[in-house]
Amino acid sequence: MTSVVPVVVCRTTFGITPPPAPKTQPTSLTLTVPGGTGAELAIYTDDQGRMRLLAPRSWSCSAMYGADGSGGITVYPTGQSVPSGWKISATSPVQAVIGSQTSACFGCTVGQACPLFGSAATEFTANFGRPCPAVRPAAETTVKLRPGVIAFADPPGVHGDGSPSGGRYPANGVMTFYPGNENGSWVETCTLPPARKGLCTAALDFFLNSYGNR
């Protein structure tokens, strides 16, 4: 179903002075989203337009990029503290949609991707002389959507590859990894109550359609 969704420009910080921001960004975009969810969604972007995330409407957001170009956008309910780190307590009601990318930082790329991608784990060990620093929990489920793209799901209370994960709500996400690709590894996590799973589906589909080949 086609819907017109608003575009929100998030407060953005950079590790180094960025190029001048675009003079204008669209105030809305027309998207095809699952039936009935368009009215509940908005697009959030940084002030350079480097990344766009689809997430629940009327939330707050912030964007941050380091000196090496890595970074992304965090979208969260207005009034909620910004999620700090990947792991939250089992009783935490934190909700968020977070997208990030590792840019050309090789160690960051293989370090992020090695729990899900065997090729990234091999590269990590070959270059750093030790195993992948993160271990995928047994309760985390994964599905290979296509070469270079894996979807993952962390049930409530499970600290996995989702950011945030381990809290009251399930964390569903997608990650990319293409060996030798200087665009880095891209990942998005949607952590929402089960009743809002349709919004996560729309958000993750939008992310994959935008960045799944990076």
| pLDDT computed for residue 197 by the predictor | 94
User: Which regions of the chain are under pLDDT 50?
Assistant: none
| pLDDT computed for residue 84 by the predictor | 65
Tell me the C-alpha distance between 46 and 211, whole Å.
Answer: 15
Kind of pairing between the strands at 41-45 and 2-9:
parallel
Tell me what percent of the chain is helix, strand and coil, each rounded to the nearest 5. Answer: 20, 35, 50
Beta-bridged to residue 11, according to DSSP, are 62
Tens digit of pLDDT for each residue in 114-138?
999 999 999 999 999 999 999 999 9
| pLDDT computed for residue 85 by the predictor | 64
Tell me: cis bond preceding 164? Omega within 30 of 0 counts.
Answer: yes
Q: Is the pTM of this model over 0.85?
A: yes
